[in-house]
């Protein structure tokens, strides 16, 4: 079985765009998408958001990824908490359907025909959404208020539902809930409530793969019990011990699949390690691991999980990387390392 290569989401802004300008444009883009306005009719919005997203997505697509996440340039929490704050003015944590919009997905849908004609293949889109547990921990902390947690889950479900595209040019193949804090922090709730909240958030189109991406594998067993979950995504490149927390037998028993991160994205640690070696101003080539290193990780993970490993790619997002060129090189090397491996199609998998 072929292992597909995707990415987690975040990506650096181009050097030509100021963060302040993009953030202002993002809020305006959200309003335009919710009201059905044409992005191209606003020069500020077109330059500082629309073109940025379209160009970044195309850059990621050109790296060879099989499934491409929209380029997440905005803060991963604010992207979803700002619409929640608007809902809170009406006494709820449930965002209205019309406001549960990811404007980057709007841009990709608008540009899909042009991109399709350029790359000569249908776009396979991945959509990352900050999960209900992460949003709850960010806004409410660890004390459980079940009704509030389930309102966050409903909000996430609405964002997911509205991000599903299916046309000749683009199809949303994956929706992934990002739960980076789960395992490091915990809501004071038993695993049944946690599973119920995640199941509620994942209660949308059955024809889309449903993922949960975790940074800590310590509670992976609890997540594997989520009934409508297809794939659990873990980091391995920067956290080699993660593989010890899950086995092929566990995945088979729960009828789940796994995505394993095989290239490091922890850029601050990478730079610190280079600095210790006397490399104080590393070149792009030095920031990205070589293909041999990435390939060895892929083959070890593929050997362990066999056909239960269906996706791979970088550990996490690349938003903190210094340049788009460095981030793109990491994606390219990851793709090449996987697709040149004899384990790519499961050649050595019994």
Q: C-alpha angle 226/230/231, rounded to 5°?
A: 100
Least reliable range by pLDDT among 36-40, 153-157, 273-277: 36-40
- 32-47 pLDDT, tens digit per residue, is 999 989 999 999 999 9
User: Left if phi > 0, otherwise alpha if psi is -120 to 50, otherwise beta: which for 328?
Assistant: alpha
pLDDT band of residue 345 (cuts 50, 70, 90) is: low
pLDDT score for 343: 72
In which element (H, E) is residue 26 found? Answer: helix 19-35
Task: Answer positive or negative: Cα dihedral of 332, 336, 337, 343.
Answer: positive
pLDDT score for 349: 37
The answer, yes or no, to whether residue 76 has pLDDT greater than 50, is: yes
The answer, yes or no, to whether residue 148 has pLDDT greater than 80, is: yes
pLDDT band of residue 348 (cuts 50, 70, 90) is: very low
Q: Domain limits of the chain?
A: 4-339
Mean pLDDT along residues 110-114? 97
Name the residue among 192, 198, 197 with its Cα closest to residue 177. Answer: 198
Cα–Cα distance between 286 and 106 in angstroms, integer? 36
Cα–Cα distance between 226 and 191 in angstroms, integer? 10
The answer, yes or no, to whether residue 323 has pLDDT greater than 70, is: yes
Q: Are 132 and 156 in contact, with CB atoms under 8 Å apart?
A: yes
pLDDT band of residue 82 (cuts 50, 70, 90) is: very high
pLDDT score for 46: 97
The answer, yes or no, to whether residue 111 has pLDDT greater than 80, is: yes
pLDDT score for 342: 74
The answer, yes or no, to whether residue 1 has pLDDT greater than 80, is: no
Cα–Cα distance between 188 and 152 in angstroms, integer? 16
The verdict on domain 4-339 having CATH code 3.90.1150.10 is no
DSSP result, 102-156: -HHHHHHHHHHHHHHHHHTS-EEEEEEEE-HHHHHHHHT-SS--HHHHHHHHHHH
Mean pLDDT along residues 292-316? 97
pLDDT score for 350: 30
Q: Hey, what's the torsion of the CAs at 341, 176, 207, 164, to 10 degrees? A: -120
Question: Which residue's entry shows tokens 């695993």?
Answer: 191
The answer, yes or no, to whether residue 206 has pLDDT greater than 90, is: no
Say how many Å lie between the first and final Cα of the chain, rounded: 11
Name the residue among 164, 243, 166, 248 with its Cα closest to residue 210. Answer: 164
Radius of gyration of the CA atoms of the chain, in A? 20
Mean pLDDT along residues 320-324? 97
Average model confidence (pLDDT) across the chain = 95
Q: How many CA atoms lie within 13 A of 70 on its CB side?
A: 31
Cα–Cα distance between 286 and 289 in angstroms, integer? 7
Percent pLDDT > 70 in the chain is 98
Measured CA to CA in angstroms, residue 348 lies from 78, 261, 300, 337 at distances of: 44, 20, 11, 16
Question: Which residue's entry shows tokens 């290239």?
Answer: 263
């Amino acid at each position: 079985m072929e292992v597909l290569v995707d990415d987690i989401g975040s990506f650096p802004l181009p050097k030509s765009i100021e963060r302040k300008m993009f953030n202002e444009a993002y809020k305006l883009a959200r309003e335009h998408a919710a009201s059905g306005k044409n992005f191209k009719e606003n020069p500020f919005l077109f330059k500082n958001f629309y073109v940025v997203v379209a160009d970044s997505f195309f850059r990621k697509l050109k790296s060879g990824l099989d499934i491409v996440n929209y380029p997440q340039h905005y803060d991963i929490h604010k992207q979803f908490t700002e619409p929640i704050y608007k809902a809170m003015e009406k006494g709820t944590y449930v965002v209205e359907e019309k406001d549960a919009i990811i404007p980057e997905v709007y841009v990709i849908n608008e540009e899909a025909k042009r991109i399709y004609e350029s790359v000569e293949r249908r776009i396979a889109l991945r959509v990352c959404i900050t999960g209900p547990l992460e949003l709850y921990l960010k806004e409410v902390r660890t004390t459980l208020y079940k009704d509030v947690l389930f309102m966050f889950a409903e909000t996430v479900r609405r964002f997911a539902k509205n991000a599903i595209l299916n046309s000749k040019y683009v199809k949303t193949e994956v929706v992934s809930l990002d739960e980076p804090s789960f395992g490091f922090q915990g809501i004071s709730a038993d695993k049944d409530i946690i599973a119920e909240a995640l199941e509620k958030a994942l209660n949308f189109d059955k024809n889309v793969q449903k993922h949960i991406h975790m940074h800590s594998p310590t509670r992976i067993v609890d997540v594997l019990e989520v009934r409508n979950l297809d794939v659990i995504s873990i980091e391995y490149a920067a956290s080699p011990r993660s593989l010890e927390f899950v086995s092929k037998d566990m995945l088979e028993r729960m009828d789940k699949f796994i995505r394993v991160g095989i290239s490091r994205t922890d850029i601050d640690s990478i730079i610190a390690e280079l600095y210790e070696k006397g490399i104080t101003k590393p070149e792009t080539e030095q920031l990205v691991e070589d293909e041999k290193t990435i390939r060895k990780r892929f083959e070890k993970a593929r050997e362990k999980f066999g056909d239960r490993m269906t996706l791979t790619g970088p550990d996490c997002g690349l938003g903190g990387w210094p340049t788009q060129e460095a981030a793109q090189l990491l994606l390219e090397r990851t793709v090449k390392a996987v697709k040149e491996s004899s384990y790519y199609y499961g050649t050595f998998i019994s």
